[in-house]
Structure formats: C-alpha cells, structure tokens
Amino acid sequence: MQKFRNNINSSGCEMVDLLSLSASLSNCILRCKGNIVRVNFEVDGKGFEVFVPDDQLFGAVKDILLNRVYEYLPDFELTNFNGEVIIDAGAHVGLFSLIASVFAKKVISIEPHPINLSLLRINKLINNVGNMYS
C-alpha cells in the first residue's frame, strides 16, 4: 500500500498530498471510473498543474490546451478580455477557467458534473487562483 505524505496548510488543517493519491483511492473519493492523471502547462509565464480523468484527457488537452478552440476567432482571444468577467459554462475540470484567470478580473466556472466539479475545485486550490469562482 502506498504511503501518503501529509502536509499542514496555513490554517493548521491536515491535507493529503494530491500527487500521492493512488488510482484506487481517487476512484473511491471522487467516484471516478478511470484514473486521475496530472497535466502541467504554462500560460503567459504562469505554470499550472491540473488533475483530469484519464478517459477525458485527450479531448480536454487537445481542445483547450493545443487547439485553443475557444479562442479560434480573433475577437475571442483571451488577451481581449483583460480585466473583464468571463463565464465558463460547462467548465469541465477548469482548464479554460485557469487559462482565463491569467487575463480576466474574475472567472465564473459552472460545471454540473459532480466529479468534474470536485476536480475543478481541487485544480483551483492547488494552483492558488483567487479570481476563479465555482
């Protein structure tokens, strides 16, 4: 059985290091069918680390990170929204919301799926993003 490294956060609460979660434990906690994988990326000099279900990894990474499908048209490039409020409806695990947080004053992330919403909140927390709300 894998040992978990525990950390004490600033409020004194014990937190399990998410990087140490085994597939079976993450499945149990989040009730996810597959495994949870870690993805690292960088936007405008800011590094991000996110957790994504492995069965949704290809679509999420391909569409959001590689093809930047939401910014396909020049009018929708995030640099046009500096200091604005962005609403990400169907936010999945927060990839686009995290990217948008670099440029926007506030990002409102809406995700109805409970597993994806949990991962979205985890991704927001571990990346210390203060202008993203779900």
What CATH number is associated with residue 70? Answer: 3.40.50.150
Residues 59-78 have a mean pLDDT of 89
pLDDT score for 123: 95
**Is 1 among the domain residues?**
no
Q: What is the DSSP letter of 21?
A: -
**Is 120 among the domain residues?**
yes
pLDDT score for 33: 67
**Is 84 among the domain residues?**
yes
Residue 79 belongs to what domain range? 6-133
Residue of higher predicted confidence among 35 and 93: 93
**Is 27 among the domain residues?**
yes
Checking if the pLDDT of 131 tops 60, the result is yes
At 1-50, the pLDDT tens digits run 333 333 333 433 334 444 445 455 555 566 666 788 899 999 999 999 99
Domain count for the chain: 1
pLDDT score for 8: 35
